[in-house]
């Protein structure tokens, strides 16, 4: 009887933790199954450790560029071993904090990998011996196993790093080639470049950050090239060979380069392969599990949230999905997740952030004649005396018919903090006139959003 639960959660990432805690707060008997550290991608090998690296990179960038402010630091030295040790300590602290909160709520934590036996029963496999160590039953089962790096198959792929491997390092390499043009690739390119590491980034097209507004993509591309990142466009890595001094890299174009290491950051896929889902007949939508608006699969007692469903794969989205699920199933509520105007940020240097429609999406939805674009580009005051200057870009997309703001985009310092507040306004249906009527806060970067004409 001890192995019977009202809810079994497979995966202790952000979404699974949120669901387990909320369900337990309603009095449900909850179990959570996890074979890695409690915390999932965001806490252990994603958002949190990466953002700590961004802080380090920004600090170094400010030290090296502040002589114009009268700040002279002499010879600086970056010890990547100290940074990586401190990041690992913080990750373990956060993981322990989540584990303690589960224990306080009487959530039973099973250490191992979960796999379906049938729609109600889960086998738990030992992470070391691969043997079955337990079997539990859940009246409701929530799948929240997250994503994993997309496999990159070429000759010499055994020498390649994934984004997961970066956080296992004891020290940084002296040179790195990064494959990919998405947010993970761009963030790591900026982190390593600003910590003094030679970075080459290769992309298959000419554009970074597919799916983001073109002005943001163009701004980032100009900035990272000016910052010294060697950007190779319209090419692909085809072969990697181990040589005495590192790796020899062959490209489809015939280009040959050398690097210490290669990071593959070409995207992530749902981590569903080891759950024995085929035996259940769960429906899929492409690579994702198919769910209804309540995150329920075609098996009425099985639900799925996070990076395994076809919704924005973002930590706050997974958390809200988990809480909404628990509120509905165990709290008697009738909630759905609000997917409109979800803010997104890319923590490059400088960072960029966005909420709402891009210019391209707005044209496709409303036509070019029915939208109006407002934007401004300038060097922010904080860059006035810096040796290396970067600019800020602010952009609004407005519906001419009702004056409502459809999209708000920013490239430059504090973008993420500013766009978070803009998301509140867009969710409330704010108009351009209401932006214009708002008094500016001077001097600030964000005041440009309410003074654009």
> Among all residues, which ones are annotated catalytic?
442
Q: Which residues fall within 8 angstroms of residue 367, CB to CB, at 6 or more apart?
A: none
- Six-digit token string for 148: 């994993």
Q: CA–CA distance from 165 to each of 140, 169, 170, 172 (Å)?
A: 34, 7, 11, 11
**Residue carrying structure tokens 């504090």:** 414
Give backbone dihedrals phi and psi of 11, rounded to 5 degrees, phi first.
110, 120
Cα torsion angle, 110, 116, 122, 127, sign:
negative
C-alpha span between 130 and 112 (Å, rounded): 9
Of residues 34, 265, 267, 45, the one with CA closest to residue 168 = 45
Of residues 269, 427, 410, the one with CA closest to residue 342 = 427
> What is the residue-wise DSSP string for 54-97?
HHHHHHHHHHHT-GGGT----S----HHHHHHHHHHHHHHHHHH
- Six-digit token string for 36: 């890695």
Q: What is the CA radius of gyration of the chain?
A: 24
On whether the CB atoms of residues 39 and 95 are closer than 8 A, the answer is yes
**Residue carrying structure tokens 């089962």:** 141
On whether the CB atoms of residues 409 and 219 are closer than 8 A, the answer is no
| Angle, helices 47-64/80-104, rounded to nearest 10 degrees | 150
Of residues 62, 76, 55, the one with CA closest to residue 389 = 62
- Six-digit token string for 136: 């539990």
- Six-digit token string for 423: 């998301």
**Residue carrying structure tokens 């600090």:** 59
What are the residue ranges of helices labelled H in 143-213?
163-166, 183-194
**SS3 of residue 259 by DSSP:** strand
Give backbone dihedrals phi and psi of 300, rounded to 5 degrees, phi first.
-60, -25
Of residues 311, 341, 344, 306, the one with CA closest to residue 325 = 306
B/e letters for 44-62, b = 16+ CB within 10 Å, e = fewer, are bbbbbbbbbbbebbbebbe
Of residues 285, 426, 259, 307, the one with CA closest to residue 47 = 307
On whether the CB atoms of residues 306 and 15 are closer than 8 A, the answer is yes
């Amino acid at each position: 009887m001890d192995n019977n639960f009202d809810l079994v959660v497979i995966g202790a990432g952000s979404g699974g933790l949120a669901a387990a805690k909320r369900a337990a707060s309603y009095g449900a008997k909850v179990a959570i199954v996890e074979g890695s550290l409690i915390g999932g991608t965001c806490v252990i090998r994603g958002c949190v450790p990466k953002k700590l690296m961004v802080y380090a990179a920004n600090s170094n960038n400010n030290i090296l560029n502040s002589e114009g402010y009268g700040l002279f630091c002499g010879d600086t030295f970056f010890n990547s071993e100290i940074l990586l040790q401190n990041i690992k300590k913080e990750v373990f602290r956060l993981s322990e904090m989540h584990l303690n909160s589960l224990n306080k709520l009487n959530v039973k934590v099973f250490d191992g990998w979960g796999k379906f036996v049938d729609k109600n029963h889960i086998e738990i496999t030992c992470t070391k011996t691969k043997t079955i160590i337990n079997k539990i039953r859940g009246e409701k089962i929530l799948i929240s196993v997250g994503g994993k790096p997309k496999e990159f198959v070429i000759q010499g792929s055994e020498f390649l790093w994934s984004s997961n491997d970066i956080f296992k390092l004891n020290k940084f390499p002296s040179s790195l080639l990064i494959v990919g043009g998405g947010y993970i690739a761009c963030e790591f390119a900026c982190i390593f470049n600003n910590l003094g590491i030679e970075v080459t980034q290769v992309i298959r097209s000419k554009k970074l950050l597919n799916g983001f507004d073109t002005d943001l993509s163009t701004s980032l591309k100009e900035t990272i090239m000016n910052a010294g990142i060697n950007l190779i466009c319209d090419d692909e890595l085809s072969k990697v060979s181990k040589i005495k001094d590192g790796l020899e890299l062959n490209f489809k174009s015939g280009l040959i380069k050398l690097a210490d290491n290669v990071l593959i950051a070409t995207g992530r896929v749902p981590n569903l392969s080891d759950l024995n889902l085929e035996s259940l007949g769960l429906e899929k939508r492409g690579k994702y599990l198919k769910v209804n608006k309540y995150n329920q699969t075609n098996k009425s007692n099985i639900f799925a949230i996070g990076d395994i469903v076809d919704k924005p794969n973002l930590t706050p989205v997974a958390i809200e999905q988990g809480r909404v699920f628990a509120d509905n199933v165990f709290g008697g509520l009738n909630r759905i997740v609000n997917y409109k105007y979800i803010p997104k940020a890319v923590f490059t240097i400088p960072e960029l952030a966005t909420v709402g429609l891009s210019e391209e999406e707005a044209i496709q939805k409303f036509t070019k004649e029915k939208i109006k674009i407002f934007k401004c580009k300038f060097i922010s005051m904080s860059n006035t005396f810096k040796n290396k200057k970067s600019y800020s870009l602010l952009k609004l997309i407005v519906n001419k018919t009702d004056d409502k703001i459809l999209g708000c985009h920013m490239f430059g310092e504090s973008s993420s903090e500013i766009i978070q507040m803009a998301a509140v306004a867009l969710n409330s249906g704010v108009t351009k006139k209401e932006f214009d009527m708002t008094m500016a806060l001077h001097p600030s970067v964000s005041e440009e959003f309410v003074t654009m004409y």
